[in-house]
Structures are given as C-alpha cells and as structure tokens.
A and B are shown apart, each in its own frame.
Chain A
Amino acid sequence: MRGAGTRPGGLGPGLAGQAGPPRGPRPPGGLLVLARAIRSLWGDGRARLGMLTILAFVLVAALAPVLAPYSPTNASFADSLGPSARHLLGTTGTGQDVLSQVLYGSRISLLVAMCAGTFATLIAVTVGLLAGYLRGVVEEVLGFATNVMLVIPGLPLMIVLATYVPGRGISVIILVIVLTGWAWGARVLRSQTASLRSRDFVLAAQLSGDRTWRIVFHEILPNMTSLVAASFFAAATAGVLAEAGLEFLGLGNPSTVSWGTMLYWAQNTSALLTGQWIQVFAPGLCIGLLAASLALVNFGVDSLSNPRLRER
C-alpha cells in the first residue's frame, strides 16, 4: 500500500516532506528515505551531474564571504575595469567587483529556487490531490482554475502583478512566482490522483472510515512522491528563470546583489557596448547552469517514476 516506503528506488517521503503534511509513524524515517532516494538518483548519470552542480552552488553560497575577494556592495573601485589579477572578472559600471557579486548572487537564486519550489509544490499538492480525489463541483472548479492558470502566459502575468505591488524586493518576486507557478504540478498530480482513487487500497481506507484528508494525504500522496519531487524541481527551475527575468526588467530591488540585478545594471550601464561582456556573460551562465542542473535532477526523478525512460 505505502508505495513510497516499500518500492525500491522510490523517492521517499523525505523529499515529499517539504510539501506534504506530517505523516504517520509507520514509514521509515524521513532521513533514511531521503538518503535512499539520493542513492537511487545517483545511479542516473544526468541526475548525478545535476546534483553535483547544485551542491557546488550551495557551497559557493554558503562560503561566499570566504571565497569573495571583496564585499559585493563595495563600490570604491575604478569603474568598468577589465579582468586583472586584482579583479578577476573586472568591475561593474559603478565600480563593484564582478566576481564578488557573482559569488554572493548565488544566495538569492538558491533562496528563490527553494522558496518558489516549496510553496508552489504545496499549492500544487493541495489543489491537485483534492481536484483529483473529490468529485463534483470541487473537482470541476479546481480543475478549471488549474487549466486557466496553465494557459495564461506566466511572465506577462508576473510582470503585471509585480508592477502593482508597492515596494520592490525578493519576497514580492517569490510571492508572484508562487502565485503563478503551481498549475503545472497541480495538473500532473491531479490526473495521477484520479487514476489512483479507484484502487483497492483507497476503497479499503474509505470502508474503514478514514476521513477524506487522511485518505488523500496519507494513503494516496505517498504513492506519488516522485511526481511531487518532479513538480518541485520544475517549479524551482521556472522560479530561477522568472526571478532573473523580472529583475532584468527592473522589477526587483536594484540594490540587492543577485544575478538578475547584475544583468539589469549591465544593461542599464550599456556594459555590452563598452565591451564589458563578462558582466553579462558570468551571471547569465550561472543562472543557466543552476536551472539546467535542477532540470537534470528532474530527468533522474522522471526515470524513477517512469521505468521506460531509464537507460537501457
């Protein structure tokens, strides 16, 4: 019955624990299952590459004060310097060290990936499971809302919302990303729930008088942990890219140091036209690598939930 706990290679409640409610005492402990999940993901070459890259970014973010040669906000250097021994990636148009900014910038992107992934997945799990399990009006309304959110183009919606909200900051950006980014996961989880709701173990739980929330979140949810993990990584990837786009447009707080605001300043000080291409290249490369490594991990998760995709 408890697929995630017993199925070898299944992504355990450890990962789902970010999204689901606290579970009963019977499945193996969260840490144990998380370790098992990582071990089976490790077997997939692409996922391994992705996890190593993410780990590298996490280390950079944690050790930024040690690694960075200067403070990222120190603007006392000469403007628009080229790469040199003192400034490996040069300086910005307003006289900050580019390398230090790139290193510190990883903190914001990882924060956005974690928060956007977690909260969007929470909404996706709630909406998706309820829409898939319940029948009647709730199912129709939630399903319709999911489809509407899916077809409305995300970035224009985020731009409009972020423009109206007073104040500029990373929390506003995360909020906007979460509000617009849950629908994909909800749709996938909903169709899987709908196919599970007529299974025998659900019937058994219903007959033994379990309440709806218990059936949905304790009986059905553990069978879909890999899908929950997939929607977490998809939302995190989309979040990293959306944050960069919004900040590039100037909808973030331009005084925070992040990869998106670096690109915003590079664009506004015409860094490309003065030949300062590193200022554009470096932060964009980091955004792409982080997004790609999240997507690569998702490959591994995908092939866990769909054995046909596994390498022959």
Chain B
Amino acid sequence: MRYALRRIVLFLLTLWAAVTINFLIPRLMPGSPAEAAVGKFAGRGPVSTSQVRAIEIMLGVPKGSLWSQYQAYLVNMAHFRFGISYTFFPQSVSSLIAQALPWTLGLVGIMTIVAFSVGTLLGVLVAWRRGRMTDTVGTVGFTLMSAFPYFWTALLLLFVCGFVLNWFPINGGYSAGQTPNLSVGFIGSAADHSVLPAITIVISSLGGWLLGMRNNMINTLAEDFIVFAEANGIRSRTIALRYAARNAILPNLTAFGMALGMVVGGSVLVEVVFGYPGVGSLLYTAVVNEDYPLMQALFLFITVSVLVANFVVDLFYGVLDPRVRT
C-alpha cells in the first residue's frame, strides 16, 4: 500500500511538471504565439471571444500576471478547453483529438505490447545461447534493425508491400467512402490499413527490448541461485524461463518507461508516412500549418498518455516484485 501511495504521489507530481512545462514552452519562446495564432484566424471567419480567450490562456497573453495566467490555464486544461483549430476551422481542438486518439491508442498500444513480449522472449533466447551464432546474429541484426529510423522502415515497407507488390493499401486508416463505425466491413478495412504501420512499429522497437532483456539475463545467469539450480540438474529450459527470466524481466519493465517515449515519438513519424488518421498525423498537420493551439494540446495529450502508461507499469511492477513494496 505504501508503495502504491508513493507511486501515486510521484505520478501526480510528474503530471504537474508536464502540464507546467506545456504552459511555459510557448511563453518562453520569442515572439507571441498567441497573437500569431489569433491573428491567423482573422482570415478564416468569425471566432467567438471565448475561443480567443481559451487560445490566449493556453499560449500566453501579454496582459495579466504569470500567476493568474497559470491559474486560468490549469482550470482550462482540466475542462479540456483548448480553443479551436486553425487548420480544421471551425472544429474545436478537443473534438479533433477525440477523433484521432482511438486510432493511435489502438495501433501504438497494441503493437508496443506485442513488441515488448516478443522482444523479451527473444532476449531470453539469445542470452541462453550466448556466444553462439544465434546470439551474435541476433544482437548485431537487431541492433541494425533498431538503428534505422522508424519512418525510413515505414517508407520502404510502403514502397515494397504497398506500391510494388500491391498487398496493402498505401494511405489512410480506412477505405475512402467509408465512415467510422463498428461494422465488420469497416473494422476489416481498418485492420487492412493498419498492417504496415503495425509491422513497422514492431520491427523498429523489437530490438530495444531484446537487447535490454539479453543484458539483464546475462547478469541474472551469473547469480548463485542459477548455479545452484544447474547443480541440482534442473533442465536448462526450466532454469532459463522459470528461474532466470522471471528475475531478469523486472529491470526490463523499468526500462519500459524510458523506451515508451521513443516508441511514441517514432510512431508519430510512422503515422505521417502512412497518412494514418491518428495523433501523429494530426501533430504533423498542426506543425506544418503552425496551428499552435492544436499542436500545444496534442503535445499535452501525448505526454499525459505516456505518463499514465508509465504509472500503470509502475503499479504492475509492485505486484510482480514484492521487494519494492516495503
């Protein structure tokens, strides 16, 4: 219980820090992002004063003390009042994010879990076959694979499997002419469109989990209790999976938090390449159009999602490893 409480306090503190960084970034930058953003709306049509106010509160207003701005900002963030988007005028930023978020959570969330599981298992394998061909080929091969930029792997897959071989659709999240719903036809189309982005994310992130697990395994395999198990004549597969891997996976879970940010960043670029209708493509559109309200809100959302995922893993860690609970 004390462990969970500590984690909750730490999570709230980190959340506060992230929200505050989001507040400070546009205010520390040269120029006035809020004025620039509001100015751009002039050519777009009438904007209600409350929307202008929401944008000013998020991006910084020249009037008012920093402290009062901060209070108004916190209130607005808690109510998801991010103003309206310039690019998708007159849609509100929060409705745009609500449309894009399920796509990214589905794709990146599921594929991260797949890559973590497969990578960890492969890490156990190469550590067990250490010094032999499997290990050398495995580590060098996966180091190479994870060294290539996500978006480059995406571009190549798009070219070979989509364009040349015509196996999969090359753009979007579902076929043109369909509207998102829960019918079999739509889900099938969405799955078809997700195959290449999903493969890209797994290929690019697998190596990190594998190498981390390999190093942890090698450290664990040198422990006395493994030697003792070997001396008892226990089968090596049992030792690898039930004795060593169970201990070695714990540091890999801690690394999950650091690596998750990398995966999320990489998938932003993957979404751009495939025109996938998720948060990453939306962020790209916002950046290209200098749509500051949309960009700032997306950054906050991406960061908070990663924080929440980390928090869940942390709590899970406490369940798995009784030692940290005391």
Contacts and interface: CB of A to CB of B under 8 A. Distances in A.
Interface of A: 46, 49, 144, 147-148, 150-157, 159-161, 163-166, 184, 237, 241, 244-245, 248-251, 263, 267, 272-273, 277, 280-281, 284-285, 287-289, 291-292, 295-296, 299, 302, 306, 308-309, 311-312
Given A147-B14, A148-B14, A152-B18, A251 B287 contact: yes
User: What does DSSP make chain A's interface, helix, strand, loop or mixed?
Assistant: helix
B251 interface: no
The 9 closest A-B pairs by CB, nearest first: A155-B265, A284-B152, A292-B147, A288-B148, A153-B261, A291-B147, A164-B29, A153-B264, A148-B17
B299 A157 contact: yes
Given A144-B13, A312-B130, A284 B158 contact: no
B144 interface: yes
A153 B218 contact: no
A288 B265 contact: no
Interface stretch (B110-118, B194-202, B235-243, B301-309): B301-309
B272 A154 contact: no
A272 B159 contact: yes
Contacts of A159: 268, 283, 287, 299
Nearest to A295: B143
Nearest to B305: A153
Interface of B: 13-14, 17-18, 21, 25-26, 29-31, 33, 130-131, 139-140, 143-144, 146-152, 155-156, 158-159, 163, 215, 218-219, 222, 257-258, 260-262, 264-266, 268-269, 272-273, 283-284, 287-288, 290, 295-296, 298-299, 302-303, 306-307, 310
Given A160-B299, A308-B218, A287 B152 contact: yes
B155 A272 contact: yes
Contacts of A46: 139-140
Given A152-B18, A272-B163, 5 more contacts: A154-B261, A156-B302, A159-B299, A248-B269, A249-B287
Contact of B257 (A151, A272, A284): A151
A272 B147 contact: no
B14, B143, B260, B273: which has the most chain A beta carbons within 10 Å? Answer: B143
A151 B131 contact: no
A288 B144 contact: yes
Given A152-B306, A156-B264, A291 B148 contact: yes
Contacts of A311: 131
A161 B25 contact: yes
A139 to B, nearest CB: 15
Contacts of A289: 147
Contacts of B148: 284-285, 287-288, 291-292
